[in-house]
Amino acid sequence: MSFNVLAIDQGTSSTKALVVSESGDVLSEAEVPVHPTPVGNGGVQQDPEELLSSIVNAGRAALAAASSPVHAVGIANQGETAVAWRAGGEAVHPAISWQDRRASVVTNRLGASAARLRAITGLPLDPYFTAPKLTWLRERVDAGVRVSGIDAWLNYRLTGRCVTDASTASRSLLLDLDTRAWSDEAVGLFGLDRNSLPEVVDCAGELAETSAFGPPLRVTGLAVDQQAALVGEGCLRAGEGKCTYGTGAFLLVTTGATPRRSNNGLSASVAWQYGDEHAYCLDGQVYTAGSAVEWLRTTGLVKSAADLDAVASRAPSDSGVVCVASFVGLGAPYWQPHAKAHLEGLSLDTGPAEIVRAVLEGIAAQVAMLVRAAEADLGERMVSLRVDGGLTRSSVLMQSQADLLQIPVELYPSPHATALGVAALARLGAGAAKSIGEGLPSLARRYEPSISADDAARRLERFERAVARTVDAQSHEGR
């Protein structure tokens, strides 16, 4: 009998649930939307109860649609999102999304500790990560209220255990990267209570049990979404990397069993941990990818994401229009949380096609800068980039990515890399697999570079100049 896993991918805009066989086949799937809400002043919030109910409803729908029994559950979380809650699990404040920038008031006053925090945790001091949001919440709720990452609260509500896995914990600015345990020094710098933090557990193992989906099921896999996708795409050896194009675009490159801090503006995190095995990764973020496409839709430049290529293809490649799509700031390697989006090179000939293409090429350029930083840290070129996520349906974006990187871009054959990755961890944790890579699919389409290396370098240099002007404009505005 096949060992089947219910794999949950709780994301920013929806929760997906898949029933996955031990060979990696998707037997059923369900999706429930959730609704992040901008609230001004850089704030983005989500309803915690909506996130929880989306998990339960999507999971039950996937189980109902499957014709085979399920033996374990794996749960991937959206990462870097924070929530405040009382004993018993009642949330008392909207969840503070990973996109939320209001905790910059916390990072600003901790600026003198930035280098020390990076040395401990591998992360830059930025409101993107969880700890600044926890402090921001801690200062706004009653003393008896607990603050934690969204995953710990969800795990508590689903299983009764307040736990976080090592990969998610490494995104908090509170975990010692070398020991993979909470750092008392980092916790103290953020003014948090060490005793209130969740227990750090492996990404695979007998972690908990849940009856949220009906009959009791073992929870044997937990991971933050991007690390789950790293596993799902089979980037298991040092130097292998992937980029997920969702609400944002997220590059991760596996670096092996020894933690490696970045000297080029990237973050360093735990990729996965189970038993005596663990691995680390470098990562960087483009905060707005799919959300930049949503901006194109709301402004009427495209009717839907499905129209991207039809509109963009009407404009020539390299039209001279450049877009830095920093609608909610710039992440790695720039770390400018207050940067605004920037569009330049417009003329009377510029139309919707040129702007749409510039947005897509700008996303590709930001990812290319992340890859360049990872290569500098690794001391070698990447031989290819594996990609997944909704925006990989855009051939214009994927071809631009291959052109700017000057390496092949390999398209993952499924839109469910995160869910398939956490399913692989759950199989491993349940003892139904001997290695982390069992049951992962092969890659599909491959995009090869179509422009010269000199042309790619020229386009990236022009993009870097546009980024410099974006950052300079923000610095002048802040004076």
What does the pLDDT read at residue 454?
98
What does the pLDDT read at residue 478?
55
Q: Which amino acid is at 30?
A: A
* Whole-number Å distance between alpha carbons of 312 and 307: 8
pLDDT surpassing 50 at residue 479? no
What does the pLDDT read at residue 40?
87
Q: pLDDT tens, 9-24?
A: 999 999 999 999 999 9
What average pLDDT does the structure give for the chain?
A: 95
Q: pLDDT tens, 157-188?
A: 999 999 999 999 999 999 999 999 999 999 99
User: ∠296-297-302 over CA atoms, to 5°?
Assistant: 85
- Dig out the tokens for 200 from the structure: 């750090």
Longest dimension (CA), the chain: 66
Burial-class residue 106 by CB neighbours within 10 Å (0-12, 13-18, 19+).
buried
Least confident of 29-33, 94-98, 272-276, 330-334: 330-334
Burial-class residue 425 by CB neighbours within 10 Å (0-12, 13-18, 19+).
buried
Q: pLDDT tens, 41-53?
A: 899 999 999 999 9
Domain residue extents for the chain = 5-233, 283-411+449-477
Q: Are strands 385-388 and 72-77 parallel, antiparallel or unpaired?
A: unpaired
Least confident of 127-131, 423-427, 439-443, 468-472: 439-443
Please tell me whether the peptide bond between 333 and the residue prior to it is cis, using omega within 30 degrees of 0: yes
pLDDT surpassing 70 at residue 475? no
Task: Yes or no: say if 422 and 74 are a contact pair by the CB < 8 Å rule.
Answer: yes
CB atoms closer than 10 angstroms to residue 266: 28
pLDDT surpassing 80 at residue 72? yes
Same fold for the domain at 5-233 and the one at 283-411+449-477? yes
Q: Which amino acid is at 154?
A: L
| DSSP state letters, 147-204 | EEEHHHHHHHHHHS--EEEHHHHTTTT-EETTTTEE-HHHHHHTT--GGGSPEEE-SE
Give φ, ψ of 344 to 5 degrees: -140, 170
pLDDT surpassing 60 at residue 465? yes
For 43, residues 6+ apart whose C-beta sits below 8 A from its C-beta are: 96, 100, 101, 102
Q: Is 385 helix (H, G, I), strand (E, B) or coil?
A: strand
H or E element at residue 243: strand 241-245
> Among residues of the chain, what percentage have pLDDT more than 70?
99
Q: pLDDT tens, 250-287?
A: 999 999 999 999 999 999 999 999 999 999 999 999 98
What does the pLDDT read at residue 476?
61
pLDDT surpassing 80 at residue 69? yes
Handedness of CA 380, 386, 392, 393 (dihedral sign): positive
What does the pLDDT read at residue 444?
75
Task: Yes or no: say if 10 and 78 are a contact pair by the CB < 8 Å rule.
Answer: yes
User: ∠218-223-225 over CA atoms, to 5°?
Assistant: 125
Task: Yes or no: say if 164 and 151 are a contact pair by the CB < 8 Å rule.
Answer: yes
Task: Yes or no: say if 371 and 405 are a contact pair by the CB < 8 Å rule.
Answer: yes
Helices (H), 177-327: 184-189, 225-232, 290-298, 308-312
> What average pLDDT does this structure show over 415-424?
95
* Whole-number Å distance between alpha carbons of 377 and 262: 6
Q: What share of the chain is helix, strand, coil (3-state, %, to 5)?
A: 35, 25, 40
- Quickly name the fold that domain 5-233 has: Nucleotidyltransferase; domain 5 (3.30.420)
pLDDT surpassing 90 at residue 367? yes
Is the pTM above the cut of 0.85?
yes
pLDDT surpassing 90 at residue 441? no
The label of the residue with tokens 């989306």 reads 54
* Whole-number Å distance between alpha carbons of 225 and 168: 9
- Dig out the tokens for 437 from the structure: 């890579």
* CATH class for the domain made up of 283-411+449-477: alpha beta
- Dig out the tokens for 177 from the structure: 């990267």
**How far out from the chain centre does Cα 209 lie?**
26
> What average pLDDT does this structure show over 127-153?
97
